[in-house]
Amino acid sequence: MTARRIRIRGQVQGVGFRPFVWQLAQRFGLTGEVRNDAEGVLILAAGPDLDAFEAALLAEAPPLSRIDALESEATTLDATAFIIAASGAKGAETRVTPDAATCAACADEIRAPGRRQGYAFTNCTHCGPRFTILTGLPYDRAQTTMAPFTLCAECRAEYENPADRRFHAQPVACPACGPRLWIEPEAPDPIAEAARRLLAGDILAVKGLGGFHLACDATNPRAIDTLRQRKHRPAKPFALMAPLSLIRRHAALSPGAEALLTDPAAPIVLLPARGTLPDSLAPGQSTLGWMLPYTPLHHLLLDAVQRPLVMTSGNLSGEPQVIDNDEARAKLGPFADAFVMHDRAIARRLDDSVERADPPMILRRARGRVPGTLPLPDGFADRQVVAYGGQMKAAICLVKNRQALLGHHLGELDEALTWQAFLQADADYAALFDHAPEAVATDLHPDYRATRHGTERARRDGLRGIPVQHHHAHLAACLGENLWPRDGGAVAGIILDGTGLGSDGTLWGGEILLGDYDGFQRHAHLTPGPLIGGDRAAREPWRNALVRLDAAGQGPRAERLFPDAPLAMARMAAERGLNAPLSSSAGRLFDAVAAILGLCPQAQSYEGEAAMRLEALASAAQDDGHPGYPFGPGLDAVPLITALCDDLDASTPAPQIARRFHRGLARAFAAQATALVEGGQARAVALSGGCYQNPLLLAETRAAIPSAIPVLTQRITPANDGGLALGQALIALAALESG
């Protein structure tokens, strides 16, 4: 018989890979062994049909595994059986698996008679907590927050049996030996009491995998309003949780959306609403964010309630999610009427991921997706760098072994606790993945906290510091996700977002860049306008509307639209350049158009509210074939504003105006990018920046680019600043290799 040494690399530890190999070996009549080691999984196998065995390894791998490489070579072997051998050296070359939603077998088990019936912490090799309980490597029970819970004899037997689906499942537990659930105020049956309170209109704080949620009955307008009042959250959409059968009643569900909902990552998925639930769940929006129950506790709670639940992050406004029981009592006490608690500690806070299925995109990359890695494009050497992202939607990226680990969503770094979470994540990832960078990449903006941190680390540790222009990083992130080769040639990048410091010292945000990982040229941009009041312009849309209306000779209209705003003072600031920096921001143009149409003109209650309402308004309009509002030379917005005002005077419905704005913006930028490709200066078009989380703008842009031209978009990393660090890391790698 022939024998082979088979190396499996990828996400193959902690996912049931060794028992899977053992079972395959029994099926194929093989002898040998399988073990974990520092590089992944190593198999020594002898038998009659090793080709078929290797094919089955790839085709039938466990659901949570991801095989990046299978390397095979002939060897000699003297074995009489196939065994699971003791693990060899362990280290950070292997992967840590993201947390995974409760599998079907465990979901059935908690509902059926048996020792785990009704047990809120049931899991197996194919599901359950991973990254949120991990405290160090190697990944075993002693290095997780399950360490205090000693396995009982029955759980130990499952853990040690390679034929059992709980073989080496580190969080395995049962009521006799595992974590305990309770409710405060105390009641004999926590689930029954929680359900009673929810149905009575109470707000509950519920401890989950990556932190606490605030929950209420999503069919009860009074409960929703109470939660909004207590949390001082007047309009930001609430996330919802329900079983698939209930989601189908309240949302339009495509095959792609259903597949995404049922993915082991169990993200929040934005779905078109059917209008069957209170409007107060997401004021002014046409979609609702839904997720399936992803822990046994969630399944039990929803079984008892039989209604969809609001499941929004348990935090004070602007702060990260609460993870500790005492912290929850102190901070969530003003919001919650009761607490559903347990005694398994959360090692790191992780928000729920937020995604779309149609078209596919990740808006917030968090629980269930991290710490998954991304392969690097061809042409990059195996070197280590760290990138620290931006100020908003902060995330860290580490590169090692030609893989990029884009960390979890952290939030706005101006908030003190979010900054602490950033520092913890930096130390956390470095330790978990034994990371020793030779370079540190940061945003060009010197005042971002992440930039200051990265610059200081480079100085302190003697590393090369590499500042990266914000929109160049967006472009590189899009290229990297699409595995655009290092020598693939220049692309035309349409980068539309809020603001980022440009290489000329002004604030950019509506850009066409011609470039690649090694550099870029600013080919075109929106005509800049002053941001009156600086950061206040991002919070108060009337300021941006005033600037655009005045530029178009529509000043009297501003007087009528915003009679209570301090227009004279604002105009004086703009004229004199007092705290009114120039910006080409597409995001602020969205705000201006929204304000002109009466959408939250005085103030946005959350980031992006005006643009999201404008998108929802436009999506409600029938396509009347209008070509979209025109732009002038140099992407001047004056003709657009003039045409929009003409439509207002003609009593054109607001949804049509909103749609014409989207189409005009998309076509103006697409025409410029298309010309670069057709002129031979670029080989493809890349779309990135937070504005491209708008599916209508994305669709209109793609439709305006000839089908023969490749269009690169981001699907598995955020197009917003949550993906910025990936682009920074790739640009830093290119800089290192260029000297």
Contacts of residue 127, defined as CB under 8 A and 6 or more positions apart, other chains included, come to 64, 100, 101, 102, 103, 106, 264
Q: What is the mean pLDDT of residues 485-497?
A: 98
Evaluate whether 611 touches 694 at the Cβ level (below 8 Å). yes
Q: pLDDT, tens digit, for every residue of 360-392?
A: 999 999 999 999 899 999 999 999 999 999 999
Before 655, cis peptide (omega within 30)? no
- Structure tokens given for 397: 């990226």
How far is it, in rounded angstroms, from Cα 71 to Cα 576? Answer: 66
pLDDT band at 155 (very low <50, low <70, confident <90, very high): very high
Query: 3-state class of 622 per DSSP?
Result: coil
Contacts of residue 261, defined as CB under 8 A and 6 or more positions apart, other chains included, come to 244, 247, 253, 269, 290, 291, 292
- Is the pLDDT assigned to residue 91 strictly greater than 70? no
Q: What is the signed CA dihedral for 472, 473, 479, 480, rounded to 10 degrees?
A: 150
Higher pLDDT, residue 739 or 610: 610
Q: Are strands 360-364 and 354-357 parallel, antiparallel or unpaired?
A: antiparallel
Q: Please list, residue by residue across 608-630, b when 16 or more beta carbons sit within 10 angstroms of its beta carbon and e when fewer do.
A: bbbbbbbbbbbbebeeeebebbe
Percent of the chain with pLDDT over 70: 99
Q: Please list, residue by residue across 141-159, b when 16 or more beta carbons sit within 10 angstroms of its beta carbon and e when fewer do.
A: bebbbbeebebeeebeebb
Q: Are strands 385-387 and 439-443 parallel, antiparallel or unpaired?
A: parallel
The CA distances from residue 278 to 91, 213, 239, 619, 664, in Å, are 50, 20, 13, 20, 33
Q: pLDDT, tens digit, for every residue of 187-229?
A: 999 999 999 999 999 999 999 999 999 999 999 999 999 999 9
Q: What's the whole-number average pLDDT of the chain?
A: 95
The pTM for the full model equals 0.94
How far is it, in rounded angstroms, from Cα 362 to Cα 370? Answer: 12
Q: pLDDT, tens digit, for every residue of 500-524?
A: 999 999 999 999 999 999 999 999 9
Question: Amino acid identity, residue 466?
Answer: I
pLDDT band at 93 (very low <50, low <70, confident <90, very high): low
Evaluate whether 630 touches 639 at the Cβ level (below 8 Å). yes
Of the candidates 574, 613, 569, the one whose C-alpha atom is nearest the C-alpha of residue 595 is: 613
- pLDDT the model gives residue 56: 97
**Phi, psi dihedrals of residue 269, rounded to the nearest 5°:** -115, 130
Q: pLDDT, tens digit, for every residue of 617-647?
A: 999 999 999 999 999 998 999 999 999 999 9
Q: What is the mean pLDDT of residues 523-536?
A: 97
Of the candidates 485, 486, 511, the one whose C-alpha atom is nearest the C-alpha of residue 498 is: 511
How far is it, in rounded angstroms, from Cα 88 to Cα 42? Answer: 9
How far is it, in rounded angstroms, from Cα 618 to Cα 607? Answer: 19
Q: pLDDT, tens digit, for every residue of 702-725?
A: 999 999 999 999 999 999 999 999
The string of DSSP letters for 287-330 reads: EEEEE---SHHHHHHHHHH-S-EEEEE-S-TTSPPP-SHHHHHH
- pLDDT the model gives residue 16: 87
Percent of the chain with pLDDT over 90: 91
- pLDDT the model gives residue 608: 96
Tally of CA atoms within 13 A in the half-sphere of 433 that contains its CB: 29
State the CB neighbour count (10 A cutoff) for residue 680: 7
Range with the poorest average pLDDT among 20-29, 80-89, 295-304? 80-89
Sheet of strand 82-84, all strands in order from the earlier edge strand to the far edge: 66-74, 2-11, 40-47, 31-37, 82-84
- Is the pLDDT assigned to residue 94 strictly greater than 80? no
> Which domains are assigned to the chain?
2-84 (3.30.70.100), 181-355 (3.90.870.40), 373-482+718-738 (3.30.420.360), 529-712 (3.30.420.40)
State the CB neighbour count (10 A cutoff) for residue 707: 8
Of the candidates 540, 532, 561, 543, the one whose C-alpha atom is nearest the C-alpha of residue 605 is: 540
The string of DSSP letters for 200-226 reads: TT--EEEE-SSSEEEEEETT-HHHHHH
Q: Looking at the annotation, which residues are catalytic?
A: 18, 36
Q: pLDDT, tens digit, for every residue of 166-190?
A: 988 999 999 999 999 999 999 999 9
**Phi, psi dihedrals of residue 202, rounded to the nearest 5°:** -75, 160
How far is it, in rounded angstroms, from Cα 3 to Cα 76? Answer: 6
Number of residues that this document lists for the chain: 739
**Phi, psi dihedrals of residue 77, rounded to the nearest 5°:** -155, 135
Q: What is the mean pLDDT of residues 478-485?
A: 98
- pLDDT the model gives residue 163: 86
pLDDT band at 89 (very low <50, low <70, confident <90, very high): low
How far is it, in rounded angstroms, from Cα 390 to Cα 728? Answer: 10
Q: pLDDT, tens digit, for every residue of 334-363?
A: 999 999 999 999 999 999 999 999 999 999
Question: Amino acid identity, residue 285?
Answer: Q
The DSSP secondary-structure symbol of 467 reads E
Helix (H) or strand (E) holding 40: strand 40-47
- pLDDT the model gives residue 90: 58
Q: What is the mean pLDDT of residues 564-593?
A: 97
- pLDDT the model gives residue 432: 83
How far is it, in rounded angstroms, from Cα 26 to Cα 3? Answer: 15
Evaluate whether 510 touches 523 at the Cβ level (below 8 Å). no
